[in-house]
């Protein structure tokens, strides 16, 4: 069965973007961890950036599908990017969008949990939950792996990693990587 991985950048205070859901530009200074991240997960690099990094013909290593909430998807859409991940099957979850602005982006308007359970049963590699916080909260019972790129930044307010509901759930830390920039890559597995 395929697994769902929530791989996301976060501040020390657990925020993935600003309160308005804008482009999380406080993560732009990628630092010394960027090269290993691109090497390990080349598919998380947006399609329009891949040629600039020499990744045009690089195969996906872990994921063949990306999931986004409407807010995360609209960050690119505001810049004219209708599908930032053309090299992946792209699904956007929204109850307010009526149609996908791009034929290569599948719009899912219903409950995300049954949709993800169906994706997990399909043949393929991993499923990457790119964001956002509300979708992550809704899909939390389906998350098999959580990879947090923890940046040494505090912002005070913004959209949290999981935006909604108080229901403590244990995740087990299975890997840590520390970079000179102060960025940590923390990998957790669902503790069940």
The stretch 22-28 carries a mean pLDDT of 72
Nearest to 130 by CA among 25, 35, 27, 5: 5
CA distance 73 to 56: 22
> 137 Cβ partners below 8 Å, 6+ apart?
162, 163, 164, 165
The stretch 66-94 carries a mean pLDDT of 95
- The token pair at 48 is 């329009």
Please answer whether residues 188 and 171 qualify as being in contact, where contact means their C-beta atoms are separated by less than 8 angstroms: yes
Task: Output 165 or 4, whichever has higher pLDDT.
Answer: 4
Question: Using one digit for the tens of pLDDT, what is the confidence trace for 134-176?
Answer: 999 999 999 999 999 999 999 999 999 999 988 899 999 999 9
Q: How high does pLDDT run on average in the chain?
A: 93
The burial of 142, by beta-carbon neighbours within 10 Å (0-12 exposed, 13-18 middle, 19 or more buried), is given as buried
CA distance 102 to 181: 37
Residue 39: how many other CB atoms lie within 10 Å: 10
pLDDT-above-70 percentage for the chain:
96
Record the pTM.
0.95
The burial of 112, by beta-carbon neighbours within 10 Å (0-12 exposed, 13-18 middle, 19 or more buried), is given as buried
Domains of the chain, residue spans: 4-166
Could you please state the CATH topology (level 3) that the domain comprising 4-166 is classified under.
Answer: Dihydrofolate Reductase, subunit A (3.40.430)
């Amino acid at each position: 069965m395929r697994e769902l991985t929530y791989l996301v950048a976060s501040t020390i205070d657990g925020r993935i973007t600003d309160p308005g859901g804008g482009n999380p530009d406080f993560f732009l200074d990628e630092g010394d961890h960027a090269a290993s991240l691109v090497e390990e997960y080349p598919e998380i690099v947006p399609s329009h950036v891949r040629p600039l990094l020499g990744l045009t013909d690089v195969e996906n290593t872990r994921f063949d599908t990306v999931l986004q909430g409407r807010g995360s998807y609209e960050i690119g859409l505001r810049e004219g990017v209708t599908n930032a991940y053309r090299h992946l099957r792209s699904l956007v979850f929204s109850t307010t969008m009526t149609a996908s602005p791009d034929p290569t982006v599948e719009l899912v308007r219903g409950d995300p949990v049954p949709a993800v359970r169906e994706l997990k049963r399909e043949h393929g590699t991993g499923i990457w939950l790119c964001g956002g916080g509300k979708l992550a909260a809704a899909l939390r019972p389906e998350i098999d792996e959580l990879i947090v790129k923890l940046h040494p930044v505090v912002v005070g307010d913004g959209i949290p990693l999981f935006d909604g509901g108080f229901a403590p759930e244990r995740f087990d830390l299975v890997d840590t990587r520390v970079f000179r920039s102060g960025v940590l890559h923390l990998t957790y597995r669902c503790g069940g």
